[in-house]
Amino acid sequence: MSRIIAIKATEVIVPAKPGSLNSEEVVDKDAVFAQKFLTGERWTEFANQPKWIIELTLDNGLVGLGETYRSASPEALRAVLHTLVGQDILKLNWRRLPIADQRIYEAFESAVLDAVGKMLGVPVYQLLGGAYRNRVDCFGWTGRRTPEEAAQKAFEAMQKGHKAFKFKCSDEDPVRLWTEKIRKKCGDGIKILLDPNQRWTDVETTLRLMEGVDKTVMLGLEDPIRHADVAGFKSLRRTLEMPLYRHISLPYTQDIRDMIAFVRADAVDGYNFNGSAYNGVLLAEMAHLEGKACWRGSEVDLGISETMGLHIAAASVSCTLPSDLFGELVRTDDLITEPIRFEQGAALVPQGPGLGIELDQEALDRFKTNQILCNRV
């Protein structure tokens, strides 16, 4: 009673809440950046890119849930539906599913592990080796802002109990003024992480933009410069005297081995990891061996993917920094019946079997497009 008899993939578009991204005055015109990160014509269009919700049904009636990253390939989805339907879920290699496309891999991994967890009566994190924690600290988050709105957003997050707040930024943003306003409004109640997504490009530009920034309010910098510049990361870490972090995102076709150069150079203070569950746990183990902390990354996702991220964070030994699980701050819906619970800035890991969540069919119907793929025995 463990055969996959059907898989349904439903395309959805769940837009962003008004005002949840950039300030109105801040217009992001970097088309190359938007193209690189599959966000549409502009970065602020990322929430309008389609995702696919996966429902995997076993012959015992259990259903496993998954969610792709944005802009996943329908052709790749069709191929996986053909490959998996008819297989015995208990005979699959869960660490290496027969799926090449990393934009959809995690969706099917999630669905498989959700179904297996329900069969065995255990949470997904138990299938990953067990939990180190049952609550995961999370960042508050927003896009590029005016200094006044940056301070307000950080203040609102602090009021909810968040200990850290993450800003997207480019080389056009007055980050020194951001930190001044935040310090004035929030005192020492919250720390700030700046994430330029490599858009500060080089060491010289980063040093110029960070000149005068209040270091006491900073948690650190994530990916200020090009990933290839390992020596530059190390130099910035030494010169700025604040933590530097490297994002390793397997869905953007980065490689686990990208981390090795940073380990050898002792170039950063920690890592942001997102990718499949077993690879995520492996990366966290590597960070642990290096004596560094990490957090669970995301692409500002919906409820299924973020819940899967919670299970991965729970099972990752070194995942002690705030994680990027904040879709409820941005998306108009999460497509699950009960939203992720937060207490004082921390997300509570569901304790039920599988992912411990249910798909909201009414919300799915509301946000679905006319694209549905299905395969059954």
- d(C-alpha 43, C-alpha 234), whole Å: 28
User: Which class does domain 135-348 fall in?
Assistant: alpha beta
Mean pLDDT of 33-59: 88
Please determine, for residue 34, whether its predicted confidence score (pLDDT) is greater than 80.
Answer: no
What is the homologous superfamily of the domain 4-121+358-376 according to CATH? Enolase-like, N-terminal domain (3.30.390.10)
Q: According to the model, what pLDDT value does residue 158 have?
A: 96
Q: According to the model, what pLDDT value does residue 32 have?
A: 81
Q: According to the model, what pLDDT value does residue 292 have?
A: 98
User: pLDDT: is 14 or 19 the higher one?
Assistant: 14
Identify the band that residue 28 occupies on the pLDDT scale cut at 50, 70 and 90.
confident
Please determine, for residue 43, whether its predicted confidence score (pLDDT) is greater than 90.
Answer: no
Q: What is the dihedral of CA 318, 319, 321, 327, to 10 degrees?
A: 170
**Residue ranges of the domains in the chain?**
4-121+358-376, 135-348
Mean pLDDT of 105-117: 98
Q: Give the DSSP letter string of 236-283.
A: HHHHHTS-EEEEEEGGGT--TTHHHHHHHHT--SEEEEES-HHHHHHH
Angle at 99 (CA atoms; ends 340, 132), nearest 5 degrees = 40
Is 3 buried (19+), middle (13-18) or exposed (0-12) by CB count in 10 A?
Answer: middle
Least confident of 28-42, 63-77, 84-98, 354-368: 28-42
CATH topology identical between 4-121+358-376 and 135-348: no
Percent of the chain with pLDDT over 70: 100
Q: According to the model, what pLDDT value does residue 7 have?
A: 98
The three-state secondary structure class of 91 is: helix
Q: According to the model, what pLDDT value does residue 104 have?
A: 97
Place of tokens 């397997």: 250
pTM value surpassing 0.85: yes
Please determine, for residue 42, whether its predicted confidence score (pLDDT) is greater than 90.
Answer: no
Partner residues linked to 296 by β-bridges: 273
Mean pLDDT of 247-262: 89
Average pLDDT, the chain: 95
Mean pLDDT of 266-283: 97
Evaluate whether 7 touches 375 at the Cβ level (below 8 Å). yes
Please determine, for residue 36, whether its predicted confidence score (pLDDT) is greater than 80.
Answer: no
Instruction: List pLDDT tens digits, range 161-219.
Output: 999 999 999 999 999 999 999 999 999 999 999 999 999 999 999 999 999 999 999 99
